[in-house]
Structure 1
Amino acid sequence: MSDETRMSRRRFVQSSALAVAFSLGTSAKTTVATTQEELPGSLEDNPELDSWIVIRDERVTVYTGKVELGQGIKTSLVQISADELDVDVDRIDLITAETERTPDEGYTAGSQSMEDSGTAITYAAAEVRQILLEAAADELDAEADQLSVDDGTVTDGNGNETTYWEIATEEALAGEASADVEPKPADEKEIVGEAMSRIDVPGKVLGEPSYVQDLRDTADVRGGVTIRDLPEEEIDARDEHEAQELLHGRVVRPSGYEAELESVDDEAVLEMEGVREVVRDGNFLGVVAETEWQAIQAREELVDAAEWSVEETLPGRENLWEHLREDEVDETIAEDEGNAEDALEDAAETLEAEYRRPYQMHASIGPSCAVAEIVADDQERELNVWTHSQGVYPLREALIELFEDEQMDDVRCTHLEGSGCYGHNGADDVAGDAALLSDAVDGQPVRVQWMREDEHRWEPYGSAMIMEVQGGLDDDGTIVGWDYDVWSYPHSTRPPGQPLLGGRQRENGIELRENDPIPLPTGGGTRNSIPLYEFENTRVTHHFLPEPDVRVSALRALGGYANVFALESFVDELAAAADADPVEFRLDHLEDERGREVIETAADAADWGDRELDDDQGMGIGFAQYKNLSAYCAVVAEVTVDDDSGEVTVDRAVAADDSGEIVNPDGVRQQIWGGIIQSASWTLYEDVDFDEEGPLDDDWSDYPIMTFPDVPEVEVELVDRPGEPYLGTGETSQGPTAAAIANAVSDAVDARVRQLPITAERVEDAME
């Protein structure tokens, strides 16, 4: 493919469109106020003007490197853009992560989409508007501060007007962001802060192809899903080559983590109707067929035909906790204030407890899926992948590594939505599978979807963890000493940090690399391990196990879920020892005013202390500021514990959230709702089973999750702070929900369950 036919979006907008872009920084905490020395949000890393906003043909196209995961980010970014630019929301076309079109914002993770992309687009749009107003002032012979804008039409108050579309020029807006222009003050915003229906929902409700799993035809790839609403001229030349027949692939994974493929008799499979190719490369085994059903049938035959060695290298679930304690660890001190050891020795009363969180999985409703094709001519080969990865640029790097021993001149990754994940599931690996199978059939497009057992057994899980806590009280019931130890495996093995699964399983596969802990302030195993409360003597120690036996990576909230569960459960235990009300006890130890407000708001909304409960019911609270630097959340849970069986039912959850300035109140509420429900499922049901060979769970009968009849009533109170920085919301309710449920169970039965999930058997054991 020649350079002349490969015209990128950047080259196009430089030659024929108005482009405005700003790149924001990746600092952990974004501030609204900025200086000329630093650019806010993702502008710091992507300062080029044509990375973020394009104005042309009475439309505004906004680009983001973040992806829609069901968290509603697309809607919020449209609201921000429309409000700052003074255009109608219907004029905004939002393009999400694609390696050839959008800024590189890494992963959509850590609840940072609003802090990073939202902040960048806020400043980008504000600066674009100011530049356009100055251009309009020259045209209308007026002062820029005397002009007004309504849906892109600029007027001077004397009947004279022009439009963005008339005055926008390449020269006016070329260059990089300065961030000299402050966004609108809160009292001038008309769209930000108002509820807006999610823009991604109608297509899903109407059955339009909305997910990567929906793709059954290459016309879908190039048409309604990928480039919907884009100007025809902006469709990249590589989208225009003649579509080939879409084939379907399936992969047969080893019988266990360390199993080796000893033999496979594929003769019968190759004779099956529609089968195009059987691919064997070391332990990578797959099949390509003309239809999906043919691929599924062929895979089943391959499963029976493959002979694997048996390798027993894992401790098994029954030995997990001893193994976590005994395995080789890297020990670091995450926090050391005062002298916790002396304070505990001198305390009037001391308590200690151990809390446990098992391996838990994403268990996405839709199995991981991707489409890949290799476009080649006499000179170049290009890999195109459509994926629901949460990081198209990092995935691109991993795919380049996958093909490092053969010619691959370019790799392009385009994000399409997938079923909810919130972390690192099989989305990246299946993209590698699709690429390898496409390569085996001369580059024809191949759609690969994992089978349910692949998803459950081979996705990376959330790490098992042990949290050990010692706390001391003085004679007044004040916490004077706190010593916290946490054991955990890695909380991110995302590509390209680690190779794709298919790349590892090939002959002469890519070796695993050394895992490092995620450093604070965000942290992995240490996330939310440092109390936000004012304890004079605090020590936090991280025991990091760099070589996991079971495959692990990022699961929503990383270590924050388990750490908040342990920390807030132990605070309740100390409150009980001090004979103090749990809410008042927290407030007595907390100076952070925003934290205090969400605790008080949640308690008031839940009628804490005034609500009449039956003997088998309990009420508990959990609180955290996610990562100690993002959104604040407090959750109050009401539970019923069956007297005979010990089974726990969550009846009601009341949450209060402070996410800084709220763009879309409905979107924030939905994220808190979803987080509460998912966390309740983890807390009551979810526990990966595995033996010495590997995971054993094939589906939801083996790995139950919360179902609709068990979903509690959920209420969410929002603390809006107009003009304050956006704080990430997506993971903030995970930990507080677990702690609130655990504390409510303890309140109901006067006994403490310290190991997740809180099953009926564990409740009964605690009561004995």
Structure 2
Amino acid sequence: MTGLTFSLKDNPRLDRWLRFQDDRTVRIGTGKVELGQGVLTALAQIAAEELDLDIRQIQMMSGNSIEGPAEGYTASSWSIEHSGAAIRLVAAEVRALALARAALRLNAAPDELMIVEGAFLRNGAPSDIDYWSIAGEIDLSAEATGAVPPKPRSTYRLVGTSVPRIDLRAKLTGSGFIQDMALPGMLHARTLRQPGRGATLIGLDEDAIRRRAGAAIQIVRIDNFVAFVGIDETAVRTAAIAAAECAVWENARALDPEQAMPDWVASQPSIDQLVGDPLPEPAPDRVSARFTRPFLSHGSIAPSCAIALSCDDILTVWSHAQGMHPLRENIAKTVGLSLDKVACHHMQGAGCYGHNGADDAALDAALVALALPGQPIRLMWRREEEFGYEPLSSAMAVTVHAALDPAGRPVDWTTEIWSATHGQRPGVGGAYLLAADALKEPPPERRPFDIPLERGGGATRNSIPLYDMDAKRIDLHLIHDVPVRTSSLRGLGATLNVFAIEGLLDDLAVRTGEDPLSYRLAILSDPRARRVLEKAAAMADWSSRDAGGAGSGLGLGLARYKNSSAYAAVVASVQVDEAVRVTNVWCAVDAGLVINPDGLVNQIEGNIVQAISWALMEEVRFGPQGIASLDWESYPVIRFSDMPEISVELVEAGEHPPLGVGECAGGPTAAAIGNAVAHALGTRIHDMPMTRDRIMTALMA
């Protein structure tokens, strides 16, 4: 008995996952959505493998809240682990059911039959039977049993090969994203954003806005929510810009630049929790170091967008948000419709790992569509709106404490964390969609809630070191309130936690006079972790590392994402003069059974690039009117000219189940850069981003 996976337990009906279609394809459903990670291609490979189909015979249906399985949010690198495991079991079971029916039709034993591209062969000879001719005899409304074992790895044809991405053609031809989507009679819309919860619109010069628009527009106002709608997209965008000057607000939000600082966040009231081994009595002497990072934006390539249509008493929403079933529930609740009157469908968006403005734009579009029934509404946020109103990744401070044995190695470890929540996705812990605040009866204030450690953790993610120590614990200070929304961004708290853990370990190695690699290996018994660490070191020719201190440095970082997903070890080479320049990155990854090697390497490379940007550049700033970093000049991200040479190698581990990989390299990359900078300078920079000003301050201290 194989048993049901997490996703199958919640969605046991076979037809939620698999249906035979009249065009001789098989539709595979998944609640996970494509965010650029290549997951739909990998899931199609899994299905085609188990069903003995060509991948071109698979049609993926992703994020359909009416027909597809409900799998929550696409997050935490769980798509292959959860949805892939479910699809594998469903496909294996349906294949077995089909073989049994075909055997009856042919009066043959099942072991006489084989399947090639959906057609049944008997003793190698063609029959007149295929999946589609017997599909009506298979009860796909039945629930999966999990009793049929999937194929052995030794028989794989597609899994483990670099199949080209199935969504690439549409992207290359300009139709791959929701921003490209058009419906007949579609109107464009932009919003006037409420400047903070509790702000009241007491004046709006609509005549001036219409004059500035330069073309006919409609103004939709629902309490403190305002949208501008028209055929001409430029006119409605112009109207939205003008509205900011023509609106009078009472009780608008004001921010202080100091509130953007991690130390300010750490000084606020908190809910405190100690997790892990109890503190020893008496408390040991400890070596401690404090590390920080600022608020971060998602930096989405395109602003958030949604399309909505209210027609025949059904509200349909197309969105690039990361969970269509949760979005459906949250929109229905907010607008007062029953669940059966709302349908949400996923369309890919141009770039975001985490909770940006996509969910909120979907509600914005839904509100306008309900006000203007029968007309499709395309609502897109402006760039300034995206930066100014999307949820941010919380600023954090982490102090790591280590008690050492006589050899200078840690035997007791505490990771102490100050952070606001990383878990405010709508419907999670009482969180809700942004425009709900602007309605007549806004939702109640929510109590601070973060993702629990058993689900990967939020602020606490990757705060327990992989290394061998007698005792480990987390001392969490979850901040009650910060003046901006905070939620999930790729890796959540793992980036700073790994940066801090690996930074202190390097400093401890320096104290003992040991090489950082040797120091780690001496306290690391996990064989898979050792393999990636040794592999990355060999790739980077670690043995040639010099004494440092002359402006060039080599550093390493290691983590197993969430301590349960893929292992990643990273070595970074840097040059430090007026600023930090990363010249080379070498990364070794153990992801268990790899479905699509090329897709997996692409994910890791992208994660490395994003982590370089976090480590060296990105920082949200506050001003009196709100978020002050509203464009690419005030919120710089890594450019092509800043790209290092990146080498990624996959450690063979196909005997193990597939592991989530999309976020595994972020923390180790930031840590490797931090350690390389310390090696280059002979001085540790404890705060991200490691800018020129911070380097100068550290050198003059």
TM-score, normalising length from structure 1?
0.87
Taking structure 1 as reference, are residues 489 and 707 closer, same or farther at Cα in structure 2, changes over 3 Å only?
same
Q: Does 1:454 align with 2:385?
A: yes
Q: Could you tell me which of 434, 440, 461 is aligned with 1:507?
A: 440
* Whole-angstrom CA distance in 2 between matches of 1:335 and 1:119: 30
> 1:419 deviation in Å?
1.3
SS in 2 for 1:630: coil
Q: Does 1:61 align with 2:2?
A: no
> 1:304 deviation in Å?
2.0
> 1:736 deviation in Å?
0.5
* Whole-angstrom CA distance in 1 between matches of 2:627 and 2:355: 17
Spell out the pairing of 1:309-324 with structure 2 (5 A cutoff): 309=250, 311=252, 314-317=255-258, 320-324=261-265
Spell out the pairing of 1:355-434 with structure 2 (5 A cutoff): 355-376=291-312, 381-404=313-336, 410-434=341-365
* Whole-angstrom CA distance in 2 between matches of 1:90 and 1:319: 50
Spell out the pairing of 1:171-186 with structure 2 (5 A cutoff): 171-186=138-153
* Whole-angstrom CA distance in 2 between matches of 1:192 and 1:651: 34
* 8 Å Cα contact 2:73/2:326 also seen in 1: yes
Q: Does 1:114 align with 2:80?
A: yes
SS in 2 for 1:304: helix
1:552-608 deviation line (CA, Å, top 9, x unaligned): 111111111111111111111111112111111111111111111111111111111
SS in 2 for 1:155: strand
Between 362-371 and 57-66, report the one with greater CA deviation.
57-66
Letter in 1 for 2:557: G
1:143-187 deviation line (CA, Å, top 9, x unaligned): 212322211122122635232222323445441111111111111
* Whole-angstrom CA distance in 2 between matches of 1:170 and 1:423: 42
Q: Could you tell me which of 338, 345, 366 is aligned with 1:435?
A: 366
Taking structure 1 as reference, are residues 318 and 172 closer, same or farther at Cα in structure 2, changes over 3 Å only?
closer
- 1:48 corresponds in structure 2 to 13
* Whole-angstrom CA distance in 1 between matches of 2:254 and 2:263: 15
* Whole-angstrom CA distance in 1 between matches of 2:124 and 2:627: 73
Give ranges in structure 1 of 5+ residues lacking alignment: 1-34, 220-244
Q: Could you tell me which of 690, 695, 705 is aligned with 2:627?
A: 695
> 1:308 deviation in Å?
2.5
- 1:24 corresponds in structure 2 to none
* 8 Å Cα contact 1:148/1:155 also seen in 2: yes
* 8 Å Cα contact 1:152/1:164 also seen in 2: yes
* Whole-angstrom CA distance in 2 between matches of 1:301 and 1:325: 38
* Whole-angstrom CA distance in 2 between matches of 1:409 and 1:160: 46
> 1:103 deviation in Å?
0.5
1:636-691 deviation line (CA, Å, top 9, x unaligned): 1111101xx2x000111111111110000001100100000001101100010013
Q: Does 1:657 align with 2:562?
A: no
Q: Could you tell me which of 201, 204, 220 is aligned with 1:261?
A: 201
Spell out the pairing of 1:3-22 with structure 2 (5 A cutoff): none
Q: Could you tell me which of 247, 258, 264 is aligned with 2:187?
A: 247
> 1:283 deviation in Å?
2.7
Letter in 1 for 2:31: G
- 2:134 corresponds in structure 1 to 167
Q: Could you tell me which of 417, 423, 426 is aligned with 1:492?
A: 423
* Whole-angstrom CA distance in 2 between matches of 1:461 and 1:136: 55
Taking structure 1 as reference, are residues 253 and 466 closer, same or farther at Cα in structure 2, changes over 3 Å only?
same
* Whole-angstrom CA distance in 1 between matches of 2:446 and 2:530: 43
* 8 Å Cα contact 2:198/2:437 also seen in 1: no
Taking structure 1 as reference, are residues 194 and 626 closer, same or farther at Cα in structure 2, changes over 3 Å only?
same
* Whole-angstrom CA distance in 1 between matches of 2:584 and 2:408: 30
- 1:517 corresponds in structure 2 to 450
* 8 Å Cα contact 2:260/2:294 also seen in 1: no
* Whole-angstrom CA distance in 1 between matches of 2:678 and 2:470: 28
Taking structure 1 as reference, are residues 203 and 420 closer, same or farther at Cα in structure 2, changes over 3 Å only?
same
SS in 2 for 1:638: strand
> 1:382 deviation in Å?
1.3
- 2:572 corresponds in structure 1 to 637
1:12-51 deviation line (CA, Å, top 9, x unaligned): xxxxxxxxxxxxxxxxxxxxxxx46x40241111110111
Taking structure 1 as reference, are residues 254 and 160 closer, same or farther at Cα in structure 2, changes over 3 Å only?
closer
- 2:653 corresponds in structure 1 to 721
- 1:705 corresponds in structure 2 to 637
> 1:280 deviation in Å?
2.7
Q: Could you tell me which of 480, 501, 513 is aligned with 2:411?
A: 480
* Whole-angstrom CA distance in 1 between matches of 2:122 and 2:655: 28
Letter in 1 for 2:305: C
Identity of aligned residues (%): 41
* 8 Å Cα contact 2:409/2:508 also seen in 1: no
* Whole-angstrom CA distance in 1 between matches of 2:639 and 2:280: 43
- 1:281 corresponds in structure 2 to 222
Q: Does 1:201 align with 2:168?
A: yes
Aligned residue-pair number? 693
> 1:256 deviation in Å?
5.5
Taking structure 1 as reference, are residues 132 and 592 closer, same or farther at Cα in structure 2, changes over 3 Å only?
same
1:508-535 deviation line (CA, Å, top 9, x unaligned): 3233322312111211111111111111
* Whole-angstrom CA distance in 1 between matches of 2:124 and 2:204: 82
* Whole-angstrom CA distance in 2 between matches of 1:633 and 1:319: 31
Q: Could you tell me which of 538, 553, 569 is aligned with 1:604?
A: 538
- 1:585 corresponds in structure 2 to 519
> 1:365 deviation in Å?
1.2
Q: Does 1:145 align with 2:111?
A: yes
SS in 2 for 1:42: helix
Q: Could you tell me which of 234, 253, 256 is aligned with 1:293?
A: 234
* 8 Å Cα contact 1:275/1:287 also seen in 2: no
* 8 Å Cα contact 1:277/1:440 also seen in 2: no
SS in 1 for 2:277: strand
1:592-642 deviation line (CA, Å, top 9, x unaligned): 111111111111111112257983210111111111111111111111101
* Whole-angstrom CA distance in 1 between matches of 2:637 and 2:485: 20
Spell out the pairing of 1:230-245 with structure 2 (5 A cutoff): 245=185
Q: Could you tell me which of 533, 547, 551 is aligned with 1:616?
A: 551
* Whole-angstrom CA distance in 1 between matches of 2:639 and 2:205: 42
1:255-277 deviation line (CA, Å, top 9, x unaligned): 55664323111123346554342
> 1:331 deviation in Å?
0.7
TM-score, normalising length from structure 2?
0.95
Spell out the pairing of 1:542-553 with structure 2 (5 A cutoff): 542-553=476-487
SS in 2 for 1:98: coil
- 1:13 corresponds in structure 2 to none
* 8 Å Cα contact 1:467/1:563 also seen in 2: yes
Letter in 2 for 1:708: F
Q: Could you tell me which of 66, 72, 76 is aligned with 2:38?
A: 72
* Whole-angstrom CA distance in 2 between matches of 1:532 and 1:408: 44
* 8 Å Cα contact 1:256/1:693 also seen in 2: no
Between 130-139 and 619-628, report the one with greater CA deviation.
130-139
> 1:431 deviation in Å?
0.7
Letter in 2 for 1:260: T
> 1:721 deviation in Å?
2.2
SS in 2 for 1:622: strand
* 8 Å Cα contact 2:329/2:339 also seen in 1: no
1:320-350 deviation line (CA, Å, top 9, x unaligned): 344323321111112125x4564633xxxx4
* Whole-angstrom CA distance in 2 between matches of 1:293 and 1:542: 48
* Whole-angstrom CA distance in 1 between matches of 2:241 and 2:351: 27
Letter in 1 for 2:418: W
* 8 Å Cα contact 1:340/1:539 also seen in 2: no
Taking structure 1 as reference, are residues 454 and 745 closer, same or farther at Cα in structure 2, changes over 3 Å only?
same
Q: Could you tell me which of 670, 674, 677 is aligned with 1:745?
A: 677
